[in-house]
Amino acid sequence: MYTGKTVFSQLMDFLPLHEFRRCVKRYDGNRHVKSFSCLDQLLCMMFAQLSYRESLRDIESCLRAMQNKLYHMGIRSKVSRSTLAEANEKRDWRIYADFAQVLIRIAKDLYIDEEFGVQLDETVYALDASTIDLCLSLFPWARFRKTKGAIKLHTLLDLRGNIPTFIWITHGKVHDVKVLDELLPEPGAFYIMDRAYLDFARLYILNQCLAFFVIRSKSNTRFRRIYSRKVDKSTGLRCDQTIVLTGKDSANDYPEKLRRVKFFDEKTGKRFSFLTNNFTVSALVVAELYRCRWQVELFFKWIKQHLRIKAFFGTSENAVKSQIWIAVSAYVLVAIINKRLKLNEVSLYTILQILSVTLFEKTLLLQLVMLKDYNISNDYYGTQLKLFDY
């Protein structure tokens, strides 16, 4: 029988806490803090995400009921609703944004060889935005419409492992295409986008940075065909052309040649027209890459259903951003655990569901998730010396 750490403590062992302390020091997060540190805040909010808590009172009640276990979970201070609310309000959200980026880098290295449906060596990103509705009277800074508030999650998703590598949180009125001004293009990578990002001046910057894009074109895009390649129409392809833009503004914004691929989807009966600056991959790969863009839509649906990012524990911009970034950290942490423990047959959804009801249990994490009896000694987790303690 395993009598070592709780499941929550085993999960937190996967966090590089030395990196978290660097993030706290970078923004002086523990300045004038006497008892409830940034680490306590992180652990409490992580607990809320993993156990599906709905409010600050909910968090307080659950953690106080397990008061004798909090110290061993890494939470050194007494948890109260007012203290946690004040921490979310005042602690700089960039602490948790930077720490999430640390976890994202770890996850990207773990999933670098993951397949995503297209045989391609280059990194492929899907770019999209999702809106979260808010009450304008409670969130006056989240402007969207006259009587409605909202925030947008502009997300760049690495399709190898569905890891969000870039997230930009704005109020709802910010247009999707403006996220291209915030991105640092990666040379050789593919960026898959919908028509909302069709801005030829910004796409030309991607081209000059040696990055590739695949984007769905609009019906009013004016162009002149220079050359056509043969296509196999049995695959759904209709044309593969080299074009130049002829619109008054677009010709100046993007003066170089583009590639236009048309595809007919027999299942839906829809016709698609794509533009790309890559002339080496096959036309069918271009169409398949755009089909994979749907993964970012599934990602938004997944995190809205299984993480706490629709009901917020605070109303300030700082509190909302802190909660979102800690939610992203929880998602990436589960993805890291899934890879490091080699849980290939277990989905992230299943892992979260199991964790939500077992965080205070003293069961070996691998045994719990795999539902198998592993004969591993207690000191596998419990008595091993750690370089970085809490």
Contact 37, 76 (CB under 8 A): yes
Q: How many angstroms separate the CA atoms of 228 and 243, rounded?
A: 9
**Burial classification of residue 89, based on how many CB atoms lie within 10 Å of its CB (0-12 exposed, 13-18 middle, 19 or more buried):** middle
Res 251 pLDDT > 60: yes
* Amino acid 371: pLDDT: 65
Give the CA distances from residue 58 to residues 52, 80, 354, in Å, rounded to whole numbers and listed in that order. Answer: 10, 11, 19
Tokens representing residue 331 in the block: 């998602």
Tokens describing residue 218 = 């609009």
184-211: average pLDDT: 95
Rounded to the nearest 5 degrees, what angle is found at the Cα of 302, between the Cα atoms of 167 and 70?
80
Inter-residue contact 352 to 334 (CB < 8 Å): yes
| Residue type, position 219, single letter | S
Q: How many CA atoms lie within 13 A of 246 on its CB side?
A: 7
Q: What does the buried/exposed string (b/e) look like for 332-366 if buried means 16 or more CB atoms within 10 Å of the residue's CB?
A: bbbbbbbbeeebeeeebeebbebbeebbbebbbbb
Rounded to two decimals, the pTM is: 0.88
Instruction: For residue 270, give the amino acid letter.
Output: K
pLDDT at 19 over 70: yes
Which tens digits make up the pLDDT trace of 268-301? 889 999 999 999 999 999 999 999 999 999 999 9
Collect all residues with Cβ–Cβ distance below 8 Å to 337 and sequence separation of at least 6. 11, 14, 343, 351, 365
The predicted-structure confidence for 112-148, as pLDDT tens digits, reads as follows 888 888 888 899 999 999 999 999 889 999 989 888 9
Decide if 293 contacts 128 (C-beta within 8 A). yes
**What is the pLDDT averaged over residues 163-174?**
94
Q: Are 154 and 170 in contact (CB under 8 A)?
A: yes
Highest mean pLDDT among 61-70, 144-153, 251-260: 251-260
Residue 240's DSSP bridge partners are 229, 261
Mean per-residue pLDDT, 19-41: 92
pLDDT for 338 beyond 70: yes
